[in-house]
Every structure is written in structure tokens, then in C-alpha cells.
Structure 1
């Protein structure tokens, strides 16, 4: 049984590559019946309205909702986070259909347009405790959503600090959460060389623990600081310190 990556649009190839780095087989999912052959599912980043229209065209929403309801691990990144939210604001006229299951309210385009994309160092104590490596993660935010509110059963895994207007004061916005079988990130771990989020997701299914332990990169665990920051490809995105 493989890990499925919804391959309607967006960064599904990057997720498949990240899974290969930890020794896990990923398969592209485009039809409802393909969900029967996977143990867990990743819904990638992309253009959420376009993804929703394609999912509706292929009659995927009922099957996706059933997959979530069955308790199989599901991870949404960026647009995938919007898909999984019970409520989304800031949508285009007419809105879009959601899969739901994650007790939160998401702002679809919280951080602004494509040119306002950025990177930020995110404190990730839960990820570091489970997967080792640095206590922070370099999050890549591309026309990203943010989580405005979470329900009582939702665990916050990461937040980003933002400046309020021209003032020096800062506030924190939630960008990664976990609720039962659902993981969601507003940023794009698949666009970095750091595979800890993928390994963390795999371990949400008990049967996958041995696979991820065998497939994890020895280079990363032997020298995480060097592996992450010296070998990571350079980008042109601004850095939020």
C-alpha cells in the first residue's frame, strides 16, 4: 500500500520526490477509486479554486470526505489546508467546495499576492522532538493561507510572527496544526530538502513507522545543520527573521 498524492494541479511532483527521499512509495491520485489502494493521502499546494473545480469535475469530493471520515492520515499543504478546513474565508466570488474535517477557520489568501511570498524560520518543538534536527523549520510561504481559529481538539504545531501595520508590535498567526488523522501546513515543506514533515506524517499511521525509520536519510540525521542549510537550494524569496 502506497501514499497517495492528489495530482489534479499544484506541487504534487515535489511531494512525490520528498517521499522518495525517505524511502516511501508515492502514487498520483486523480480518480475516486484510486483512494481504495492507498494508506494515507497528501493534498498538495496549488491554486485552491482550480483544484476544487477539477475535484468536482472528477466527482472526488464524496470519496475524499469518506477517506477523511475513515480516519486514514491526510495532510494538506497550502491549498490542501484550505481543502481540509471546515470553514474558509477570503474566497473568490462564488466560493469553493471543501472536503472539511479539520475544525478550524482558514483565511484563503492571508499573506497577500504571489509577489508577497516569503520564507520564515518557524519554531517547531513538536516536530524536533519527534524527528530530531534543528528546533526550527524554514517555511516557504507562497500566496499562503493562515489559520485564524482552531477548535478545542486541534493541536497547534507552528506559528509565524507578523508585524502589525507600521507599528513595532508583532502577533502570531497559526500555520501548522494537527487534529487526529489530519495534518495541515500553510507552507510548502515539499519545496525544501528538509523531509521531517513528510517523515512525521508517515508516522501518523502506525503501520508506516518501520518504513520511515528504514528510509530516512542518514546524511540528515548525522549532520542536520550542515545538511539543511548548506545544501538547501537558494531562493529569491524574502526572509522573515
Structure 2
């Protein structure tokens, strides 16, 4: 399968930056706000923003089961920051309706508040091709307790920041806020 059309769950978050990144990679981008939109895309991005707000939007739009089904059926998905929280199976410090697509525990705001935002390079043990990547963290979560099928692709200061399990990629940072397309290219390569 070739990925030609990528959806962005456009409830809240940095939809425009993800759109620019994906269009720069030559794919068609569609805002996803209903099940019909979701069924029209080959892959999906769940952007950063505020996980509770996005989860409430998913419930309001009645998209929870459709998202779970499409992801379970193998649709490639990338969740960044709050999107990574929503892809997790568990959330440690806040009740949020997650999609359970990746066998990890999410810890919201693990690095602190908005004023604690920062950028940092990945550690030297990053997966091939990711060695010099810089990551932007804004009220970022941490993903912990990865299950046996979860592959850690990159760490910052020893903490996992980029993981993959089957067709699911979770980034605790905001790759769309840099000019580096590698995380989005990983999503497109899953087609």
C-alpha cells in the first residue's frame, strides 16, 4: 500500500504545522473530523495539544471506536505529544480516554509546565538515521513501561522520546515544529 492521503485529527493542536510538513513531502492532507474523513485516508496524525481536550473532541465526534478499529486494522498512525498520550494503553496521572494502540504508560507533563519547554538532541543510541535529530518538548509527556513489542527508536537524556509498535509511532516531542521531516517520513514509509 502506498500512502497518498494522510489525515490529521483536527480537533485541536498544531494541525497547520503537520499539514505543512506532510504537504512538503508530497502527500495530500485531509482534516479528520468524522468517520467518513477517517475512512478516506491511508494514514493518520494525532497532533500535540491538550490530551483531555482532544479526547473530549473524539468523544463528541463519536470517533473513538472508528479510530480504534482503523488503527487495529493496520492503518499507520503517528501521535505527537498529546497524540502520543492518546495512543498509549495507560495514563498514569490523569484519567483520559485513550485509544490503547501502543503498549506503554503515558505520564502527562513529565518535564514540567509550559515554562519548562526545551529543545534537545537525541542520545547517541538512536536508531540508524535518527542520530542527529533535535526534539522540541512543550509540556511533554513521558512514555514508560513499554511492552515487549514496543521498539524505542530515540531517547533524550535516557528517556524514551520516540517509539514504534507495529503500525503505531509515538513521539513525546513536536517534530512538526522543526524543519526535519524524518518522523513524518517514517509514517509514510509504513505504507
State the 4+ residue runs in structure 1 displaced beyond 4 angstroms: none
Q: Partner residue of 1:151?
A: 147
Instruction: State the Cα distance separating 1:125 from its structure 2 match.
Output: 3.7
In the alignment of these two chains, the number of paired residues is 187
Could you tell me how far apart the structure 2 residues matched to 1:198 and 1:14 are?
12
Contact 2:81 2:171 in 1 (8 A): yes
Instruction: State the Cα distance separating 1:39 from its structure 2 match.
Output: 0.5
Could you tell me how far apart the structure 1 residues matched to 2:72 and 2:92 are?
23
Q: Partner residue of 1:126?
A: 127
CA RMSD, aligned part only? Answer: 1.2
TM-score with structure 2 setting the length:
0.94
Q: Say whether residues 1:185 and 2:185 are aligned partners.
A: no
Could you tell me how far apart the structure 1 residues matched to 2:103 and 2:96 are?
17
- Per-residue Cα deviation, 1:103-148 (whole angstroms, up to 9, x for no partner): 111101111111101111013742517xxxxx21110000000112
Q: Say whether residues 1:102 and 2:116 are aligned partners.
A: no
Stretches of structure 1 lacking an aligned partner (at least 5 in a row):
130-134, 162-171, 206-241
Give 1 or 2 for the bigger CA radius of gyration: 1
Stretches of structure 2 lacking an aligned partner (at least 5 in a row):
none
Could you tell me how far apart the structure 1 residues matched to 2:180 and 2:96 are?
32
Could you tell me how far apart the structure 1 residues matched to 2:104 and 2:83 are?
13
Q: Partner residue of 1:27?
A: 30
Q: Say whether residues 1:5 and 2:2 are aligned partners.
A: no
Query: Higher helix proportion, which one?
Result: 1
Q: Matched residue of 2:84: which SS?
A: helix
TM-score with structure 1 setting the length:
0.75
Contact 1:9 1:47 in 2 (8 A): yes
Could you tell me how far apart the structure 2 residues matched to 1:155 and 1:148 are?
12
Q: Say whether residues 1:200 and 2:186 are aligned partners.
A: yes
Contact 1:84 1:101 in 2 (8 A): yes
Q: Partner residue of 2:116?
A: 116
